[in-house]
Amino acid sequence: MGAASTAHRRVKLLLDVHHSPRAAERLRDKGHDVIAAASDPRLSALPDGDLLRFAASDERALVSENARDFERIVHAWGAAGQRHAGVVYTSPRRFHRGSLSYSENLVVALDRFLTGSTPAGTDWVHWLQ
């Protein structure tokens, strides 16, 4: 599933509810188009499938540490021929929300991802390093 090639293009992001709205704000300050579900009561109340549907309709890749649930959804969508704009998984071990450096580490990693070679097309999945 997903495109194997990469190219430099503008990727818009939607941070899942467990990621800090402050990280989205800092990424916007760097010129990226990023919104946080936690900043919008309508988005924060959506079940996972509906959040991915919103992201897809807005041509945004979803950033989530909830790989277990979203992998299930992504596979079901693929089987049904539904498209999404990409999913970026984050590890709670690497980006521990209780850490003082969580937001900074997440911002640096997402900025590096967004300014580097990003996956082309739709239906891609990427683990953030």
Amino acid at the residue 52:
L
**pLDDT tier, 52 (very low <50, low <70, confident <90, very high otherwise):** very high
CB under 8 Å to 37, separation ≥6 — which residues?
A: 14, 15, 16, 17, 43, 44, 46, 51
CATH code for the domain in which residue 85 is found: 3.40.50
**pLDDT tier, 3 (very low <50, low <70, confident <90, very high otherwise):** very low
State how many domains the chain has.
1
**Res 8 pLDDT > 70:** no
In a domain, residue 31? The reply is yes
In a domain, residue 1? The reply is no
In a domain, residue 72? The reply is yes
In a domain, residue 58? The reply is yes
**Res 70 pLDDT > 80:** yes
CA nearest to 96, candidates 22, 19, 41: 19
Q: Which residue has the higher pLDDT, 70 or 103?
A: 70
22: domain range? 9-127
In a domain, residue 70? The reply is yes
Report pTM: 0.90
In three-state secondary structure terms, 85 is coil
